[in-house]
Amino acid sequence: MLRRAKISAVSHYVPEKVLTNHDLEQMVDTNDEWIQTRTGIRERRILEDGKATSDMAAEAVRKLCEQRGIDPLEIDLIIVGTITPDMFFPSTGNLVQDKVGAKNAWSYDVAAACSGFLFALSSGAQFITSGMHKKVVVVGADKMSAIVNYKDRNTCVLFGDAAGAVLLEPDEEDTGIIDFMLHTDGHGSESLQMKAGGSLYPATLRTVANDWHFIYQDGKQVFKFAVQRMADVSVKILEKHNYTGDDLKLFVPHQANLRIIDAAVKRLGISNDKVMINIGNYGNTTAATIPLALSEAYQEGRLDKNDLVLFATFGGGFTWGSSLLKWAMPKP
Ligand SMILES: CC(C)(COP(=O)(O)OP(=O)(O)OC[C@H]1O[C@@H](n2cnc3c(N)ncnc32)[C@H](O)[C@@H]1OP(=O)(O)O)[C@@H](O)C(=O)NCCC(=O)NCCS
């Protein structure tokens, strides 16, 4: 029988600098009341200039190794979900591997926008279930402040910077990751994208003058799809395994908008104490939201061994999906 992959450690890193809704009121035509009622966000973290996604990811991986009591030399593979790599190449995974001294690991990146962590997690889990590797690190990390236009009120209030990481190891005790349901729909690509800087529109004076190196989002369109798709895929994975919301200990959704989370919670028919929400403190940190929320929930003592946990995500692309797992670690 194939062995499941289990999460054997979870950690996160957030930068110290806080950007509040009141700070944003000084930068664009917005206000705290609008941002809180439309999104649930109060503040977000911003990484300092001169630091990049790999610095946050490396901090999270160092903490992960400390928590599990392992040397980075024991890591076999590092996968980083991100859409804000330090540079086009080498991959952010390569840079993280060097920064943490994981000399025996290989590494690569996965680009699936806000679904980056879940897509990377499914990828990492395959190396454990196949028996190829024993210790796989999966990171979700994004420095969204590097691609957000702080003159565009439609997007600048939404995003923040952070990293989260998990360690995957073979399960011995009927815990671990039970299943994934993952989807993409390229028809949604124009609703949420960073248009320039790639091979279609390499950087030129024209692309810079047009702000094409910043995030563009058709918020309404994205909202419509996110509400439906994230709720559908959350309910479907439970049904597939003959579970209901009653069986769940914790739902850890992607944190893009409190109203999108609320819609999924309603469809699942679960009470709010079964949902991990920290969007108010961090905004949408893209690939980092799920491991960041999971790490905080675990530290808060909200998870114990054998608890049923559901992840769900939606992001640019469009990309979306869910994962169901039995938590493998006792309370910290
Ligand atoms: C972006 C989002 C919060 C906007 O909320 P909304 O309820 O859809 O608001 P609308 O787009 O209808 O905008 C309503 C009005 O508020 C204005 N507005 C937009 N941003 C604003 C801001 N920061 N402050 C104040 N007003 C703002 C709009 O210009 C619009 O004004 P108008 O009616 O005069 O044109 C919402 O669409 C959303 O969350 N979308 C999905 C985002 C997402 O999840 N992205 C990541 C995918 S993982």
| 331 belongs to a structural domain | no
Domain that holds residue 190: 177-326
Long-range pairs for 234-240: beta carbons < 8 A, 24 or more residues apart: 234/264, 234/267, 234/268, 234/310, 234/312, 234/322, 235/267, 235/268, 236/181, 236/322, 237/179, 237/181, 237/310, 237/322, 237/323, 237/324, 238/268, 238/310, 238/324, 240/179, 240/181
**Residue 284 catalytic?**
yes
> How far, in Å, CA of 107 to CA of 98, rounded?
10
* Residue 30 and residue 150 in one domain: yes
Same domain, 112 and 193: no
Last residue of a domain, one of 111, 144, 174: 174
* Domain identity same for 158 and 272: no
Ligand 1 centroid to Cα of residue 162, in Å, is 23
Q: Specify whether 150 is located in the same domain as 202.
A: no
Look at residue 168 and tell me if it is in a domain. Answer: yes
Question: Can you tell me which atom of ligand 1 is nearest the CA of 30?
Answer: 24
What is the reported pLDDT for 2? 73
Same domain, 167 and 208: no
Select from 31, 38, 184, 220 the residue to mutate for testing ligand 1; criterion: most ligand atoms less than 8 Å from CB: 38
Q: Please state, in angstroms and rounded to a whole number, the distance separating the CA atoms of residues 314 and 109.
A: 18
> How far does Cα 204 stand from its chain's mean position?
31
Residues 238 and 285 in one domain: yes
Domain boundary among 128, 152, 174: 174
Atom 31 of ligand 1: nearest residue by CA position? 154
Assess whether 168 and 222 both reside in one domain.
no
Q: Is residue 253 part of a domain?
A: yes
Distance (Å, rounded) from C-alpha 187 to C-alpha 190? 7
**HSE (CB half, 13 Å, CA atoms) of 82?**
37
**Residue 221 maps to a domain:** yes
Tell whether the model's pLDDT for residue 138 goes beyond 80.
Answer: yes
For the question of residue 114 being annotated catalytic, the response is yes
* CB contact at 8 A, 279 and 109: no
What residues does ligand 1 touch, defined as CB less than 6 Å away? 30, 34-35, 38-39, 114, 153-154, 157, 192, 217, 219-220, 222-223, 226, 256-257, 260, 284, 314-315
How far does residue 27's CA lie from ligand 1's centre (Å)? 17
Same domain, 10 and 29: yes
Residue nearest to atom 20 of ligand 1 (CA): 154
Q: Is 272 exposed, middle or buried (0-12, 13-18, 19+ CB in 10 A)?
A: exposed
Atom 36 of ligand 1 has which residue's CA nearest to it? Answer: 219
End of a domain among 108, 143, 174? 174
Measuring from atom 24 of ligand 1, which residue has the nearest CA? Answer: 30
Mean per-residue pLDDT, 296-310: 98
Contact present, 15 and 161 (Cβ < 8 Å):
yes
pLDDT of 195 over the 70 cut:
yes
Active-site residue, 241 included: no
Number of other CB atoms surrounding residue 104 within 10 Å: 14
- C-alpha dist (Å) from residue 275 to 27, 144, 329: 33, 25, 19
Q: Based on the fold, state whether residues 93 and 182 are members of the same structural domain.
A: no
Enumerate the H helices of the chain as residue ranges: 21-25, 32-39, 53-68, 92-100, 116-129, 153-156, 205-209, 219-240, 258-268, 279-282, 289-299
Tens digits of residue pLDDT in 21-69: 999 999 999 999 999 999 999 999 999 999 999 999 999 999 999 999 9
Which among 21, 254, 257, 278 is annotated as catalytic? 254
Question: Does any domain span residue 61?
Answer: yes
Give the pLDDT of residue 163.
99
pLDDT per position as a tens digit, 239-283: 999 999 999 999 999 999 999 999 999 999 999 999 999 999 999
- Does residue 83 belong to any structural domain of this protein? yes
CATH number of the CATH domain containing 228: 3.40.47.10
Q: Which of 118, 223, 224 to mutate to test the pocket of ligand 1 (most atoms within 8 A of CB)?
A: 223
| Residue 197: φ, ψ to 5° | 105, -10
- Read off the pLDDT band of 1 (50, 70, 90): low
Q: Report if residue 332 sits inside a domain.
A: no
21 inside domain: yes
Q: Which residue's CA lies nearest to atom 29 of ligand 1?
A: 154
Same domain, 132 and 225: no
Between the CA of 219 and the centroid of ligand 1 the distance, in Å, is 6
pLDDT one-digit tens code per residue, 206-230: 999 999 999 999 999 999 999 999 9
Q: Is 212 exposed, middle or buried (0-12, 13-18, 19+ CB in 10 A)?
A: middle
Question: Of the listed 114, 156, 278, 281, which one is catalytic?
Answer: 114
Same structural domain, 162 and 229: no
Q: How far is the CA of 220 from the centre of ligand 1 (A)?
A: 7
- Per DSSP, what are the bridge partners of residue 176? 326
Q: Are residues 203 and 168 in the same domain?
A: no
Q: What's at 11, amino acid-wise?
A: S
How many structural domains are present in the chain? 2
Between 2 and 214, the more confident residue is 214
